[in-house]
Amino acid sequence: GESVGLHLPTLSVQEGDNSIINCAYSNSASDYFIWYKQESGKGPQFIIDIRSNMDKRQGQRVTVLLNKTVKHLSLQIAATQPGDSAVYFCAENEGKTSGSRLTFGEGTQLTVNP
Amino acid sequence: DGGITQSPKYLFRKEGQNVTLSCEQNLNHDAMYWYRQDPGQGLRLIYYSQIVNDFQKGDIAEGYSVSREKKESFPLTVTSAQKNPTAFYLCASSSRDTQYFGPGTRLTVL
């Protein structure tokens, strides 16, 4: 069926650099997207979301970009810190037919080197 | 102190035993969810409930059962029929599209 996937399973960056985590989705009916951060042994934590009527949304040190033409979602983290080291998941809500169900990607492990 | 609580944090069971994982939320959310996460993997949906006294199977419901008698509570029972129950179990709730997660329960079958 339809799925959400990530381009890179791992990403290693230097402290202070910007990080970009990518996500591809295949369902053109998806109208809502979320990024989660999961630290080891903990539950996923909401970071930022975006609806399909937008192409960019900014939070504190994070920006989500949505390109509906190529069905691509990205999470940008500015001035990456060691505390940002975690697995990052994207998730999509596949429109009204799915109700409140989300489909999750496989995750990207971000490692921040001091 | 609002949020989603799961208990216990760690759970051990012997093969062949049923075990129930607790999930409680005080966020007044209508919908609740159970996910399974295996090491290095993403989240897979077990069951979800969009309203009290109603629930639907997710993608991997076999060997699991749930109930939703109260809005605040959505317990998950891992039955002896689940062939490989050792995993990290996550509960979530939502009022609209955004799901918020609990801290998880790590179940180990001995």
**Per-residue pLDDT, A9:** 84
**Per-residue pLDDT, A8:** 47
Distance (Å, rounded) from C-alpha B110 to C-alpha B107? 10
Chain B residues in contact with A93 by the CB 8 A cut-off are 97
Mean pLDDT of the region A23-29 = 88
CA B77, B81, B86, B92 dihedral sign is negative
Percent of chain A scored above 70 by pLDDT? 89
B48 and A101: CB-CB below 8 Å? Answer: yes
Does A107 touch chain B if contact means CB atoms closer than 8 Å? yes
The answer to whether the beta carbons of residues A6 and A103 sit under 8 Å apart is no
**Chain B residue at shortest CA distance from A96:** B97
Which candidate from B31, B42, B58 shows the least CB-CB separation from A107?
A: B42
Residue closest to A34 by CA, chosen among A19, A20, A54, A50: A50
**Per-residue pLDDT, B2:** 65
Q: How confident is residue A106, by pLDDT bands cut at 50, 70 and 90? A: confident
**Per-residue pLDDT, A4:** 55
Percent of chain A scored above 90 by pLDDT? 73
- Minimum mean pLDDT among A23-32, A68-77, B48-57, B74-83: which range? A23-32
Mean pLDDT of the region A2-9 = 51
Please, which residues bridge with residue B32 across strands? B49, B93
**Per-residue pLDDT, A6:** 42
Distance (Å, rounded) from C-alpha B23 to C-alpha B29? 13
Chain mean pLDDT for chain A: 89
Q: Please, what are the averages of pLDDT over each run of 10 residues along chain B (110 residues)?
A: 88 92 96 93 93 95 97 96 93 91 95
Query: Do the strands B64-66 and B87-94 form a parallel or antiparallel pair, or are they unpaired?
Result: unpaired
B97 and A100: CB-CB below 8 Å? Answer: yes
Query: Do the strands A32-38 and A45-51 form a parallel or antiparallel pair, or are they unpaired?
Result: antiparallel
For A36-45, write each residue's pLDDT tens digit.
999 999 999 9
Residue A7 has pLDDT above 90, yes or no: no
Q: How many CB pairs under 8 A join A and B?
A: 49
Does A44 touch chain B if contact means CB atoms closer than 8 Å? yes
**Per-residue pLDDT, A27:** 86
Mean pLDDT of the region A89-111 = 83
